[in-house]
Structure 1
Amino acid sequence: MSEPSTTHPAGELRDLLGESESVTILCHNNPDPDCLASALALGRIAAAAGVDEWQIAYSGEISHQQNRAFVTLLDIDLERFDPATARDRPDGELLAFVDHSIPGRNNRVPEETPVDIVVDHHPAEAVDARFVDHREAVGATATIFTEYVRDLDADLDADLATALLFAIRRETLEFLRGTTRAEYEAAGYLHERTDTDLLRQLATPSVTGATLDAIATAIDNRRTRGSVLISHVGRTTERDALPQAADYLQTLEGVETAIVFGIVGRSIHLSGRTTDPRIHLGDALDDAFADVGTAGGHQDMAGGEVPLGVFADYTADDEHLLAMVEAVVSDRLVSELRLSEDSSG
């Protein structure tokens, strides 16, 4: 198993890329700015290393209005990922993960698929690849790629600088969450190279009516137990409304932890935020739902996905389905977080 690089990781990455003919840079499901900017930076590094062909691929959906704006304004060329191509790659073709690290977790890569490159900052165990730079301490994967670009003296035009800076700002909630000295150093390096008008456009995308409706539903359905708020958005097509609702509800007076869930397609999605130092939200969600789905994340922000499975087959009545999902998910959260049964709206 490869270990994270401790000396000159940028040079090691460049050398590995230089041995290859092509690289597929795979984003995680529903890629966000940190993932997309990191993929863009890796593509530039690959091109500079002499890689003939590189592509950015993704699974899932790009549904958050900010993520869609990011792709459009930066003109990022994305391709849909075909899981069937992951295992039987021709010699000389590399598979790279950015902002995620384990096959089958937050991606549609078959488990046990060999991975060549992993660069990530999310908590994970047993990360295995030919090149691994896994730094849980830093606040954004884009911070790591900014270091690479600087160390390799790679081409850093205004678009890439803006993408990386916006990603760092967004991932750290404007330097208020999980920020280290590395984020400030990266931002200082990127600042003078950034297109400020483009940065402003990225920060202020329009919001869809469906997103507002989902957030409003979460507000209406909120229940609090002490400093913990649990709510749901019902059924929605706006997956990324969940973290937006969690961000908003976590600011409610007296609330330290907000967890929002909802049905998207044939899965239950969860998103949580906390400022309570006694709770590691990623571990809590993993413990609560690992037996039925996938969940995890950082101490202060986390998410998860649980297939509807038998729920969807049990009833065709959407209202009944929502009631069952609400009961089961809420009970698991109440049990895992050891909350009292007393609640308020």
Structure 2
Amino acid sequence: MNLTEDRITKFRGLIENATGNISIVIAQVDPDALGAARGIAWLVNQLRPKNGLEVNTFYAGSISHPQNQAIVNRFDLLKRMKPMKSFSVCDNHNVILVDSSSVTDGRLLAQTDQRIDPFIVIDHHRGSEIKERDETFVWIEDVGSASTILTELIQSLGFGFGDTNQTVALLLALGIHTDTGSLTDCFERDRLAYNVLTSAVSNQDLTQLFRYPLPQSHFVNVERALRNKVVQGGKLVTHIGKISSSDGDDLSSIADDLIRMSGVTLVVVWGIIDKMVRISARNADITNPLDIFLRERLPSSSCGAKLSSDGRGIGGGNLTLDLGVWMIEETTEEVVSLVSKWIQTKIFEV
């Protein structure tokens, strides 16, 4: 998508005329969300003088995946980020939502009672309920990553990448690389953006963030997923039970591996984290769009998906699991069995 002059002017005007602090919100911490958030924060600071005003970034969930921890530690990002649980009514003003386009995202609602009403949304996932209005700017498009869109936006506003924003370029490049499976599931626009960014950073810096150790718990969860898998008609459903938030990112990496299994065209991997059921899904059948499939089988506001360049689907969602007094350690086995039966029924039904 080439931004028209009218669209560029509209975006610039919204940022320059915003009064008060700006809050950037990400629903899940991953390299693409971190890159997009850092990119939009840098851009905001270029377009308007600070004058004592702040640009704050809020994140839902935990910083648990080894790669996310490496990124956050390497660039000391916690100085610029706050957990979503600290998001208050004072912050719910001039909200920018990146790498997500659902204001009812369970990951956000689980950590704040504030329902956001963003004035800028930048995302690459299908099925958003958000529509652009005169006073908002919404850019949602099928590309490999939100960092690709941010790179294009920065360039469209007349900025480049070099010594003054090398960290921004590195984080955006890492977001594209990770969300496109090392550029194997990407569009031409992703490659072009990645080439622009990597020309401004060193290969050594990128390589250090690609090579990160995996904890032993990851392999324990892989074994659980293989043990619990059920396959029917090319659809594979499995789970890793009740897990800590620090293991939540294993769901997506396990789904990435299982979709490569011969004869499997759809994978759904889930786990229970606190009072939420987190789901990661992958689809290799281009005749059955994943976003539509998930919204037909699961509560529509809880899930979403993006489409890769070759038609495959990458998505997931979060389901609220509020069983009140019935959700205790001693009932975990029964709860897991109940959720397993419900999800299998929904996914396998004809």
Task: Sort the TM-score into its range (normalised by shorter chain).
Answer: 0.7 to 0.9
Q: Which consecutive residues of structure 1, in runs of 5 or more, have no partner in the other structure?
A: 339-345
Tell me the CA shift for residue 226 of structure 1: 2.8
Change (3 A) 1:27 1:6: same
Structure 2: distance between partners of 1:193 and 1:314:
51
Q: Which consecutive residues of structure 2, in runs of 5 or more, have no partner in the other structure?
A: 308-312
Tell me the CA shift for residue 55 of structure 1: 1.5
Normalized against structure 1, the TM-score is what?
Answer: 0.86
Q: Which has the higher helix share?
A: 2
Match of residue 186 from structure 1: 193
Match of residue 310 from structure 2: none
Structure 2: distance between partners of 1:34 and 1:75:
17
- Root-mean-square deviation (Å): 2.4
User: Is the CA contact (8 Å cut-off) linking 2:255 and 2:268 kept in structure 1?
Assistant: yes
User: Is the CA contact (8 Å cut-off) linking 2:58 and 2:83 kept in structure 1?
Assistant: yes
- Matched ranges for 1:65-80 at <5 A: 65-76=66-77, 77-80=80-83
- Structure with greater contact order relative to length (CA < 8 Å, sep ≥ 6): 2
Match of residue 259 from structure 1: 268
Tell me the CA shift for residue 22 of structure 1: 2.5
Change (3 A) 1:70 1:7: same
Structure 2: distance between partners of 1:51 and 1:16:
14
Within the alignment, does 1:209 sit opposite 2:216 as a pair? yes
User: Is the CA contact (8 Å cut-off) linking 1:66 and 1:205 kept in structure 2?
Assistant: yes
Change (3 A) 1:205 1:115: same
Tell me the CA shift for residue 128 of structure 1: 4.2
SS in structure 2 opposite 1:219?
Answer: helix
Structure 1: distance between partners of 2:115 and 2:215:
39
Paired positions, count: 326
Structure 1 residue ranges, 4+ long, deviating more than 6 angstroms after superposition? none
Structure 2: distance between partners of 1:254 and 1:68:
35
Tell me the CA shift for residue 7 of structure 1: 3.7
User: Is the CA contact (8 Å cut-off) linking 1:259 and 1:273 kept in structure 2?
Assistant: yes
User: Is the CA contact (8 Å cut-off) linking 1:232 and 1:260 kept in structure 2?
Assistant: yes
**Which residue identity does 1:148 align to in structure 2?**
L
Structure 1: distance between partners of 2:146 and 2:348:
32
Match of residue 22 from structure 2: 23
Structure 2: distance between partners of 1:209 and 1:166:
24
Structure 2: distance between partners of 1:314 and 1:120:
35
User: Is the CA contact (8 Å cut-off) linking 2:96 and 2:120 kept in structure 1?
Assistant: yes
- Matched ranges for 1:105-254 at <5 A: 105=105, 106-108=107-109, 113-123=116-126, 124-128=128-132, 130-154=135-159, 156=161, 157-177=165-185, 179-237=186-244, 238-254=247-263
Structure 2: distance between partners of 1:314 and 1:202:
39
User: Is the CA contact (8 Å cut-off) linking 2:132 and 2:138 kept in structure 1?
Assistant: no
Within the alignment, does 1:85 sit opposite 2:89 as a pair? yes
> Could you tell me the percent identity over the aligned residues?
22
